[in-house]
Amino acid sequence: MVGRRRGHGEGSIYRRSDGAWVGAVHLGSEGGRRRRRVVYGKTQAEVWARLREAQRQFEGGHDPAPERLTVEQFLGDWLERVLPGTVNERSEDTYRGVVRLYIVPTIGSIRLAKLVPSDVSRMLVALERRGLAAETRRQARAVLRRALRIAEQDGLIPRNPAAIADGPRIPRREGRTLTPDEARRFLEAIEGERLEAAYVLALALGLRRGEVLGLSWHDVDLDAEAPVLVVRRQVNRGRRGLELSELKTSSSRRTLYLSDPVVQVLRRRRLQQRKEQLAAGPLWMDRDDLVFTSPLGGFLDTTAFGKSVPRLAERAGLGHWTLHELRHSCASLLLAMGVPLEVVSETLGHASIRMTKDVYGHLLAPSRMQAAEAMRRALWADAEPGADRLATNLATNDESSRARKPLTWGNVRPGGFEPPTCGLRVRCSAVELEAHPGV
Protein backbone atom coordinates (compact mmCIF):
# COMPACT_ATOMS: atom_id res chain seq x y z
CA MET A 1 0.00 0.00 0.00
CA VAL A 2 2.87 2.39 0.84
CA GLY A 3 4.48 2.09 -2.55
CA ARG A 4 1.26 2.44 -4.58
CA ARG A 5 1.40 5.03 -7.34
CA ARG A 6 -1.50 7.47 -7.11
CA GLY A 7 -3.68 8.22 -10.10
CA HIS A 8 -4.55 11.75 -11.20
CA GLY A 9 -7.07 13.34 -8.83
CA GLU A 10 -6.81 10.59 -6.21
CA GLY A 11 -5.18 12.96 -3.73
CA SER A 12 -2.12 12.66 -1.55
CA ILE A 13 -1.38 11.42 1.94
CA TYR A 14 1.43 11.87 4.41
CA ARG A 15 2.29 10.97 7.97
CA ARG A 16 2.71 13.68 10.58
CA SER A 17 5.41 13.69 13.20
CA ASP A 18 2.89 12.59 15.85
CA GLY A 19 2.15 9.43 13.84
CA ALA A 20 -1.30 10.45 12.50
CA TRP A 21 -2.01 10.09 8.78
CA VAL A 22 -3.38 13.01 6.74
CA GLY A 23 -4.82 12.91 3.23
CA ALA A 24 -5.95 15.65 0.83
CA VAL A 25 -7.84 15.58 -2.45
CA HIS A 26 -8.89 18.41 -4.79
CA LEU A 27 -12.59 18.57 -5.65
CA GLY A 28 -12.71 21.02 -8.55
CA SER A 29 -12.77 24.82 -8.38
CA GLU A 30 -15.20 27.44 -7.11
CA GLY A 31 -14.83 31.17 -7.64
CA GLY A 32 -11.39 30.69 -9.18
CA ARG A 33 -10.14 28.79 -6.12
CA ARG A 34 -9.39 25.09 -5.94
CA ARG A 35 -11.50 23.20 -3.42
CA ARG A 36 -9.50 20.88 -1.23
CA ARG A 37 -10.80 18.22 1.16
CA VAL A 38 -8.58 17.06 4.03
CA VAL A 39 -9.16 13.81 5.93
CA TYR A 40 -7.45 12.19 8.89
CA GLY A 41 -6.95 8.66 10.12
CA LYS A 42 -4.92 6.42 12.38
CA THR A 43 -3.58 4.34 9.48
CA GLN A 44 -2.65 4.95 5.87
CA ALA A 45 -5.33 2.50 4.71
CA GLU A 46 -7.99 4.37 6.67
CA VAL A 47 -7.00 7.66 5.04
CA TRP A 48 -7.04 6.08 1.56
CA ALA A 49 -10.56 4.78 2.20
CA ARG A 50 -11.77 8.21 3.32
CA LEU A 51 -10.22 9.92 0.32
CA ARG A 52 -11.91 7.50 -2.04
CA GLU A 53 -15.26 8.02 -0.26
CA ALA A 54 -14.92 11.81 -0.51
CA GLN A 55 -14.11 11.53 -4.21
CA ARG A 56 -17.03 9.15 -4.80
CA GLN A 57 -19.50 11.43 -3.01
CA PHE A 58 -18.29 14.47 -4.92
CA GLU A 59 -18.64 12.72 -8.27
CA GLY A 60 -22.17 11.68 -7.25
CA GLY A 61 -23.14 15.31 -6.66
CA HIS A 62 -22.61 15.31 -2.88
CA ASP A 63 -19.96 17.64 -1.51
CA PRO A 64 -19.33 16.43 2.05
CA ALA A 65 -18.67 18.92 4.81
CA PRO A 66 -15.04 19.59 5.74
CA GLU A 67 -14.03 16.92 8.20
CA ARG A 68 -13.23 19.37 10.99
CA LEU A 69 -16.31 21.61 10.48
CA THR A 70 -18.36 21.48 13.68
CA VAL A 71 -22.07 22.07 14.16
CA GLU A 72 -21.25 25.28 16.04
CA GLN A 73 -19.11 26.59 13.18
CA PHE A 74 -21.75 25.73 10.59
CA LEU A 75 -24.54 27.36 12.61
CA GLY A 76 -22.44 30.48 13.09
CA ASP A 77 -22.01 30.79 9.34
CA TRP A 78 -25.71 30.09 8.78
CA LEU A 79 -26.74 32.82 11.22
CA GLU A 80 -24.47 35.42 9.62
CA ARG A 81 -24.69 34.53 5.93
CA VAL A 82 -27.96 32.68 5.25
CA LEU A 83 -30.63 33.57 7.81
CA PRO A 84 -30.70 37.42 7.60
CA GLY A 85 -33.43 38.61 5.26
CA THR A 86 -35.37 35.34 5.29
CA VAL A 87 -37.23 36.16 8.54
CA ASN A 88 -38.07 39.36 10.37
CA GLU A 89 -35.59 40.78 12.87
CA ARG A 90 -37.54 39.60 15.88
CA SER A 91 -37.52 36.01 14.62
CA GLU A 92 -33.84 36.28 13.72
CA ASP A 93 -33.00 37.35 17.27
CA THR A 94 -35.03 34.41 18.58
CA TYR A 95 -33.13 31.98 16.33
CA ARG A 96 -29.80 33.36 17.53
CA GLY A 97 -30.85 32.88 21.14
CA VAL A 98 -31.97 29.30 20.50
CA VAL A 99 -28.66 28.43 18.84
CA ARG A 100 -26.60 30.06 21.59
CA LEU A 101 -28.55 28.77 24.59
CA TYR A 102 -29.81 25.35 23.56
CA ILE A 103 -28.11 23.87 20.49
CA VAL A 104 -24.43 24.83 20.79
CA PRO A 105 -24.02 23.83 24.48
CA THR A 106 -25.27 20.30 23.74
CA ILE A 107 -24.14 19.30 20.22
CA GLY A 108 -22.07 22.27 19.02
CA SER A 109 -18.75 20.42 19.29
CA ILE A 110 -19.87 17.50 17.10
CA ARG A 111 -18.47 17.52 13.58
CA LEU A 112 -21.22 18.30 11.08
CA ALA A 113 -20.35 15.32 8.87
CA LYS A 114 -20.69 13.01 11.90
CA LEU A 115 -24.02 14.38 13.18
CA VAL A 116 -26.71 11.68 13.37
CA PRO A 117 -30.37 11.66 14.51
CA SER A 118 -29.44 10.14 17.87
CA ASP A 119 -27.34 13.25 18.60
CA VAL A 120 -30.42 15.41 18.07
CA SER A 121 -32.45 13.14 20.35
CA ARG A 122 -29.70 13.38 22.95
CA MET A 123 -29.90 17.18 22.71
CA LEU A 124 -33.64 17.12 23.37
CA VAL A 125 -33.18 14.83 26.37
CA ALA A 126 -30.48 17.14 27.78
CA LEU A 127 -32.79 20.14 27.41
CA GLU A 128 -35.58 18.25 29.15
CA ARG A 129 -33.26 17.44 32.06
CA ARG A 130 -32.56 21.15 32.34
CA GLY A 131 -36.26 21.62 33.00
CA LEU A 132 -37.06 23.32 29.69
CA ALA A 133 -40.65 23.16 28.47
CA ALA A 134 -41.69 20.94 25.58
CA GLU A 135 -42.40 24.00 23.42
CA THR A 136 -38.84 25.25 23.98
CA ARG A 137 -37.43 21.86 23.00
CA ARG A 138 -39.64 21.82 19.92
CA GLN A 139 -38.30 25.23 18.95
CA ALA A 140 -34.69 24.10 19.35
CA ARG A 141 -35.27 21.15 17.03
CA ALA A 142 -37.13 23.35 14.52
CA VAL A 143 -34.29 25.88 14.32
CA LEU A 144 -31.70 23.12 13.91
CA ARG A 145 -33.81 21.43 11.23
CA ARG A 146 -34.12 24.69 9.30
CA ALA A 147 -30.37 25.29 9.41
CA LEU A 148 -29.45 21.72 8.46
CA ARG A 149 -31.82 21.91 5.50
CA ILE A 150 -29.32 24.34 3.95
CA ALA A 151 -26.45 21.93 4.69
CA GLU A 152 -28.42 19.16 3.01
CA GLN A 153 -29.21 21.32 -0.02
CA ASP A 154 -25.54 22.28 -0.37
CA GLY A 155 -24.48 18.64 -0.17
CA LEU A 156 -22.58 19.05 3.10
CA ILE A 157 -24.59 16.23 4.68
CA PRO A 158 -26.46 13.39 2.95
CA ARG A 159 -29.62 13.82 5.05
CA ASN A 160 -31.08 16.10 7.71
CA PRO A 161 -30.68 14.44 11.13
CA ALA A 162 -33.02 16.93 12.84
CA ALA A 163 -35.83 16.08 10.41
CA ILE A 164 -35.41 12.36 11.09
CA ALA A 165 -35.19 12.55 14.87
CA ASP A 166 -38.49 12.43 16.76
CA GLY A 167 -39.64 15.73 18.20
CA PRO A 168 -40.92 16.24 21.75
CA ARG A 169 -44.53 15.51 22.52
CA ILE A 170 -46.39 18.78 23.06
CA PRO A 171 -49.18 18.39 25.64
CA ARG A 172 -52.47 19.99 24.67
CA ARG A 173 -53.31 22.94 26.88
CA GLU A 174 -56.95 23.93 27.12
CA GLY A 175 -56.84 27.67 27.71
CA ARG A 176 -59.39 29.55 29.73
CA THR A 177 -62.23 31.36 28.02
CA LEU A 178 -64.69 33.96 29.16
CA THR A 179 -68.31 32.89 29.38
CA PRO A 180 -70.89 35.11 27.61
CA ASP A 181 -71.82 36.62 30.98
CA GLU A 182 -68.18 37.33 31.83
CA ALA A 183 -67.60 38.80 28.38
CA ARG A 184 -70.51 41.21 28.90
CA ARG A 185 -69.13 42.21 32.29
CA PHE A 186 -65.76 42.92 30.69
CA LEU A 187 -67.38 45.06 27.98
CA GLU A 188 -69.23 47.01 30.65
CA ALA A 189 -65.97 47.59 32.53
CA ILE A 190 -64.13 49.01 29.51
CA GLU A 191 -66.96 51.28 28.39
CA GLY A 192 -65.61 54.83 28.11
CA GLU A 193 -61.95 53.72 28.17
CA ARG A 194 -59.70 55.51 25.69
CA LEU A 195 -58.86 52.16 24.02
CA GLU A 196 -62.31 50.64 24.39
CA ALA A 197 -62.49 49.85 20.67
CA ALA A 198 -59.14 48.01 20.78
CA TYR A 199 -60.37 45.68 23.51
CA VAL A 200 -63.64 45.12 21.66
CA LEU A 201 -61.76 44.07 18.50
CA ALA A 202 -59.62 41.64 20.49
CA LEU A 203 -62.68 40.02 22.04
CA ALA A 204 -65.28 40.25 19.25
CA LEU A 205 -62.97 39.60 16.27
CA GLY A 206 -60.12 37.68 17.89
CA LEU A 207 -57.41 40.04 16.63
CA ARG A 208 -53.86 39.58 17.90
CA ARG A 209 -52.16 42.36 19.84
CA GLY A 210 -49.95 43.47 16.94
CA GLU A 211 -52.88 43.28 14.52
CA VAL A 212 -55.01 45.56 16.68
CA LEU A 213 -52.27 48.16 16.96
CA GLY A 214 -51.37 47.87 13.26
CA LEU A 215 -54.90 48.56 12.05
CA SER A 216 -55.22 51.61 9.77
CA TRP A 217 -58.32 53.62 8.96
CA HIS A 218 -57.60 52.78 5.31
CA ASP A 219 -58.36 49.16 6.24
CA VAL A 220 -61.75 49.93 7.79
CA ASP A 221 -64.96 50.65 5.88
CA LEU A 222 -67.67 51.60 8.34
CA ASP A 223 -70.04 53.15 5.78
CA ALA A 224 -70.40 50.18 3.44
CA GLU A 225 -73.66 48.24 3.25
CA ALA A 226 -71.77 45.41 4.94
CA PRO A 227 -69.03 47.11 7.03
CA VAL A 228 -65.71 45.31 6.90
CA LEU A 229 -62.24 45.42 8.41
CA VAL A 230 -59.10 44.21 6.61
CA VAL A 231 -56.27 42.75 8.72
CA ARG A 232 -52.97 43.06 6.84
CA ARG A 233 -50.35 44.70 9.09
CA GLN A 234 -49.04 44.52 12.63
CA VAL A 235 -46.97 46.54 15.07
CA ASN A 236 -43.99 44.74 16.60
CA ARG A 237 -41.02 45.72 18.69
CA GLY A 238 -37.86 45.31 16.61
CA ARG A 239 -34.23 46.26 17.04
CA ARG A 240 -35.01 49.91 16.28
CA GLY A 241 -38.08 50.04 18.51
CA LEU A 242 -41.73 49.80 17.51
CA GLU A 243 -42.30 49.31 13.80
CA LEU A 244 -45.13 48.54 11.39
CA SER A 245 -44.83 45.52 9.10
CA GLU A 246 -46.94 43.42 6.75
CA LEU A 247 -48.34 40.14 8.05
CA LYS A 248 -46.21 37.18 6.94
CA THR A 249 -48.76 34.68 5.64
CA SER A 250 -51.79 34.89 3.37
CA SER A 251 -53.94 33.22 6.01
CA SER A 252 -53.07 35.98 8.49
CA ARG A 253 -54.26 38.61 6.01
CA ARG A 254 -58.03 38.47 6.14
CA THR A 255 -61.26 40.45 5.76
CA LEU A 256 -63.79 40.39 8.60
CA TYR A 257 -67.35 41.65 8.69
CA LEU A 258 -68.42 44.01 11.47
CA SER A 259 -71.63 43.94 13.48
CA ASP A 260 -73.35 47.21 14.34
CA PRO A 261 -72.04 47.37 17.96
CA VAL A 262 -68.46 47.08 16.66
CA VAL A 263 -69.13 49.73 13.99
CA GLN A 264 -70.46 52.12 16.60
CA VAL A 265 -67.50 51.70 18.95
CA LEU A 266 -65.09 52.32 16.03
CA ARG A 267 -66.98 55.47 15.05
CA ARG A 268 -66.60 56.74 18.61
CA ARG A 269 -62.90 55.96 18.40
CA ARG A 270 -62.56 57.94 15.15
CA LEU A 271 -64.26 60.96 16.68
CA GLN A 272 -62.08 60.71 19.78
CA GLN A 273 -58.91 60.55 17.67
CA ARG A 274 -59.89 63.65 15.69
CA LYS A 275 -60.25 65.56 18.95
CA GLU A 276 -56.80 64.37 20.05
CA GLN A 277 -55.32 65.46 16.72
CA LEU A 278 -56.78 68.96 17.08
CA ALA A 279 -55.45 69.19 20.64
CA ALA A 280 -51.95 68.05 19.59
CA GLY A 281 -51.74 70.48 16.68
CA PRO A 282 -48.31 70.47 15.00
CA LEU A 283 -47.07 67.80 17.45
CA TRP A 284 -49.34 65.18 15.86
CA MET A 285 -47.19 62.38 14.38
CA ASP A 286 -49.75 60.72 12.06
CA ARG A 287 -48.30 57.19 12.03
CA ASP A 288 -49.76 55.73 8.82
CA ASP A 289 -53.28 56.81 9.80
CA LEU A 290 -53.41 54.13 12.50
CA VAL A 291 -56.67 53.57 14.38
CA PHE A 292 -54.98 53.20 17.77
CA THR A 293 -52.22 55.65 18.61
CA SER A 294 -50.78 57.58 21.52
CA PRO A 295 -52.43 60.94 22.32
CA LEU A 296 -49.86 62.51 19.97
CA GLY A 297 -50.42 60.09 17.10
CA GLY A 298 -47.43 57.81 17.72
CA PHE A 299 -47.24 54.06 18.06
CA LEU A 300 -48.86 52.52 21.10
CA ASP A 301 -46.44 50.44 23.16
CA THR A 302 -47.29 46.78 22.64
CA THR A 303 -46.21 45.73 26.12
CA ALA A 304 -48.17 48.45 27.91
CA PHE A 305 -51.26 47.64 25.83
CA GLY A 306 -51.04 43.98 26.78
CA LYS A 307 -50.61 44.77 30.48
CA SER A 308 -53.71 46.98 30.54
CA VAL A 309 -56.11 44.04 30.03
CA PRO A 310 -55.44 42.28 33.37
CA ARG A 311 -56.00 45.58 35.17
CA LEU A 312 -59.36 46.09 33.47
CA ALA A 313 -60.40 42.48 34.06
CA GLU A 314 -59.59 42.82 37.77
CA ARG A 315 -61.67 45.98 37.90
CA ALA A 316 -64.58 44.07 36.38
CA GLY A 317 -64.30 41.47 39.14
CA LEU A 318 -63.21 38.74 36.74
CA GLY A 319 -59.76 38.07 38.13
CA HIS A 320 -56.60 38.00 36.01
CA TRP A 321 -57.21 37.71 32.24
CA THR A 322 -54.74 38.40 29.44
CA LEU A 323 -55.14 39.97 26.01
CA HIS A 324 -54.49 36.64 24.32
CA GLU A 325 -57.28 35.08 26.39
CA LEU A 326 -59.68 37.61 24.86
CA ARG A 327 -58.75 36.19 21.42
CA HIS A 328 -59.14 32.68 22.79
CA SER A 329 -62.57 33.61 24.16
CA CYS A 330 -63.66 34.88 20.75
CA ALA A 331 -62.98 31.48 19.19
CA SER A 332 -64.69 29.62 22.02
CA LEU A 333 -67.81 31.79 21.91
CA LEU A 334 -68.08 31.39 18.14
CA LEU A 335 -67.84 27.61 18.38
CA ALA A 336 -70.39 27.58 21.19
CA MET A 337 -72.75 29.52 18.91
CA GLY A 338 -72.38 26.84 16.22
CA VAL A 339 -70.10 28.69 13.80
CA PRO A 340 -68.27 26.12 11.60
CA LEU A 341 -64.70 25.33 12.54
CA GLU A 342 -63.32 26.41 9.16
CA VAL A 343 -64.94 29.86 9.53
CA VAL A 344 -63.49 30.25 13.01
CA SER A 345 -60.07 29.30 11.61
CA GLU A 346 -60.33 31.96 8.90
CA THR A 347 -61.53 34.55 11.39
CA LEU A 348 -58.55 33.98 13.67
CA GLY A 349 -56.09 33.93 10.76
CA HIS A 350 -54.74 30.47 11.53
CA ALA A 351 -52.36 28.89 9.02
CA SER A 352 -54.60 25.82 8.75
CA ILE A 353 -57.83 24.42 10.11
CA ARG A 354 -55.75 21.70 11.77
CA MET A 355 -54.18 24.32 14.03
CA THR A 356 -57.63 25.53 15.05
CA LYS A 357 -58.78 21.98 15.73
CA ASP A 358 -55.71 21.20 17.83
CA VAL A 359 -56.36 24.23 20.04
CA TYR A 360 -60.15 24.24 20.18
CA GLY A 361 -61.08 20.63 19.38
CA HIS A 362 -62.26 20.06 22.94
CA LEU A 363 -65.00 22.65 22.37
CA LEU A 364 -66.62 20.78 19.50
CA ALA A 365 -68.73 18.46 21.65
CA PRO A 366 -72.02 20.27 20.80
CA SER A 367 -71.33 19.82 17.06
CA ARG A 368 -70.63 16.14 17.58
CA MET A 369 -73.86 15.81 19.53
CA GLN A 370 -75.70 17.46 16.62
CA ALA A 371 -74.12 14.92 14.25
CA ALA A 372 -75.38 12.06 16.41
CA GLU A 373 -78.86 13.58 16.49
CA ALA A 374 -78.85 14.05 12.71
CA MET A 375 -77.95 10.40 12.19
CA ARG A 376 -80.70 9.35 14.60
CA ARG A 377 -83.24 11.26 12.53
CA ALA A 378 -81.86 9.73 9.32
CA LEU A 379 -81.92 6.10 10.54
CA TRP A 380 -84.96 6.20 12.79
CA ALA A 381 -87.27 8.30 10.65
CA ASP A 382 -90.28 7.89 12.90
CA ALA A 383 -88.70 10.45 15.20
CA GLU A 384 -89.28 13.19 12.63
CA PRO A 385 -91.74 12.92 9.72
CA GLY A 386 -90.08 13.38 6.35
CA ALA A 387 -86.53 12.79 7.60
CA ASP A 388 -86.27 9.46 5.79
CA ARG A 389 -87.37 11.02 2.50
CA LEU A 390 -84.85 13.86 2.86
CA ALA A 391 -81.97 11.46 3.67
CA THR A 392 -82.87 9.28 0.68
CA ASN A 393 -82.88 12.24 -1.69
CA LEU A 394 -79.50 13.42 -0.48
CA ALA A 395 -77.92 9.95 -0.56
CA THR A 396 -79.17 9.00 -4.04
CA ASN A 397 -78.56 12.41 -5.61
CA ASP A 398 -82.00 12.31 -7.26
CA GLU A 399 -81.60 14.44 -10.41
CA SER A 400 -85.28 14.15 -11.32
CA SER A 401 -86.23 15.56 -7.96
CA ARG A 402 -83.88 18.49 -8.54
CA ALA A 403 -85.49 19.16 -11.88
CA ARG A 404 -88.92 19.39 -10.30
CA LYS A 405 -87.65 21.80 -7.63
CA PRO A 406 -85.11 24.34 -8.90
CA LEU A 407 -82.36 25.41 -6.51
CA THR A 408 -83.13 28.70 -4.81
CA TRP A 409 -81.75 30.45 -1.77
CA GLY A 410 -84.78 29.43 0.20
CA ASN A 411 -84.28 25.67 -0.24
CA VAL A 412 -80.48 25.42 0.04
CA ARG A 413 -79.34 27.85 2.69
CA PRO A 414 -78.55 26.46 6.16
CA GLY A 415 -80.78 27.66 8.91
CA GLY A 416 -79.61 30.76 10.72
CA PHE A 417 -77.50 32.19 7.87
CA GLU A 418 -78.58 35.27 5.96
CA PRO A 419 -77.86 35.71 2.22
CA PRO A 420 -75.09 38.36 2.64
CA THR A 421 -72.98 36.04 4.81
CA CYS A 422 -73.51 32.55 3.39
CA GLY A 423 -70.35 31.41 1.64
CA LEU A 424 -68.40 34.37 2.97
CA ARG A 425 -66.54 34.91 6.18
CA VAL A 426 -69.06 35.03 8.98
CA ARG A 427 -69.47 38.23 10.88
CA CYS A 428 -67.45 37.09 13.84
CA SER A 429 -68.69 39.70 16.25
CA ALA A 430 -72.24 39.57 15.00
CA VAL A 431 -72.68 35.92 15.91
CA GLU A 432 -71.80 36.58 19.48
CA LEU A 433 -73.16 40.06 20.04
CA GLU A 434 -76.52 39.61 18.30
CA ALA A 435 -77.11 36.55 20.48
CA HIS A 436 -76.70 38.82 23.51
CA PRO A 437 -78.36 42.18 22.82
CA GLY A 438 -77.03 43.58 26.04
CA VAL A 439 -73.38 43.32 24.99
Give the CATH number, domain containing residue 330: 1.10.443.10
Q: Please indicate, yes or no, if residue 434 is contained in any of the structural domains.
A: no
pLDDT band at 405 (very low <50, low <70, confident <90, very high): very low
pLDDT at 403 over 50: no
pLDDT cut 70: percent of the chain above it: 75
What pLDDT does residue 384 have?
55
Three-class SS state of 255? strand
The answer to whether residues 96 and 150 belong to one domain is yes
Task: Report the DSSP pairing between strands 33-41 and 233-238.
Answer: unpaired
The answer to whether residues 330 and 262 belong to one domain is yes
The answer to whether residues 203 and 280 belong to one domain is yes
C-alpha span between 201 and 288 (Å, rounded): 19
Name which residue leads in pLDDT, 81 or 17: 81
Three-class SS state of 289? coil
**Beta carbons within 8 Å of 260's beta carbon, 6+ residues apart:** none
**Beta carbons within 8 Å of 112's beta carbon, 6+ residues apart:** 65, 69, 70, 71, 73, 74, 151, 156, 157
pLDDT at 277 over 70: yes
Which of 306, 324, 357 is the last residue before a domain boundary?
Answer: 357
What pLDDT does residue 429 have?
43
pLDDT at 305 over 80: yes
Average pLDDT, integer, range 84-111: 92
| Helical pair 323-336 and 428-435, crossing angle rounded to 10 deg | 70
**Beta carbons within 8 Å of 204's beta carbon, 6+ residues apart:** 259, 261, 262, 330, 428, 429, 432, 433
The answer to whether residues 80 and 22 belong to one domain is no
Range in 8-12, 166-170, 350-354 with the lowest mean pLDDT = 8-12
pLDDT band at 294 (very low <50, low <70, confident <90, very high): very high
pLDDT cut 90: percent of the chain above it: 43
The answer to whether residues 158 and 196 belong to one domain is no
Which CATH number characterizes residue 104's domain? 1.10.150.130
Q: Please indicate, yes or no, if residue 139 is contained in any of the structural domains.
A: yes
Residues 107, 141: contact at Cβ < 8 Å?
A: no
Range in 10-14, 217-221, 260-264 with the lowest mean pLDDT = 10-14
Name which residue leads in pLDDT, 65 or 259: 259
Give burial (CB, 10 Å; 0-12/13-18/19+) of 400.
Answer: exposed
Number of domains in the chain: 3
| Helical pair 353-360 and 341-348, crossing angle rounded to 10 deg | 100
**Beta carbons within 8 Å of 268's beta carbon, 6+ residues apart:** 196, 197
Name which residue leads in pLDDT, 52 or 412: 52
Name which residue leads in pLDDT, 11 or 152: 152
Q: Please indicate, yes or no, if residue 426 is contained in any of the structural domains.
A: no
Three-class SS state of 25? strand
The answer to whether residues 149 and 51 belong to one domain is no
Q: Please indicate, yes or no, if residue 376 is contained in any of the structural domains.
A: no
Range in 53-62, 74-83, 125-134, 273-282 with the lowest mean pLDDT = 53-62
The boundaries of the domain holding residue 345 are 180-357
Strand residues in 54-169 grouped as ranges (E): none
C-alpha span between 156 and 147 (Å, rounded): 12
Name which residue leads in pLDDT, 194 or 337: 194
pLDDT at 367 over 50: yes
Q: Please indicate, yes or no, if residue 42 is contained in any of the structural domains.
A: yes
Q: Please indicate, yes or no, if residue 126 is contained in any of the structural domains.
A: yes
What pLDDT does residue 87 have?
84
pLDDT band at 426 (very low <50, low <70, confident <90, very high): very low
Average pLDDT, integer, range 88-96: 88
**Side-chain-facing half-sphere of 317: CA atoms under 13 Å:** 5
Range in 20-29, 95-104, 278-287 with the lowest mean pLDDT = 20-29
The answer to whether residues 54 and 88 belong to one domain is no
Residues 110, 119: contact at Cβ < 8 Å?
A: yes
pLDDT in tens, 149-159: 988 887 778 88
pLDDT at 309 over 80: yes
| Helical pair 196-204 and 323-336, crossing angle rounded to 10 deg | 40
What pLDDT does residue 336 have?
82
What pLDDT does residue 109 have?
94
Range in 57-66, 73-82, 235-244, 329-338 with the lowest mean pLDDT = 57-66
Name which residue leads in pLDDT, 281 or 397: 281
The answer to whether residues 93 and 52 belong to one domain is no
| Cα separation values, 252 from 12, 206, 421, Å | 57, 12, 20
What pLDDT does residue 368 have?
67
Distance of CA 64 to the CA centre of its chain: 33
C-alpha span between 291 and 231 (Å, rounded): 12
pLDDT band at 430 (very low <50, low <70, confident <90, very high): very low
Mean pLDDT taken over the chain: 79
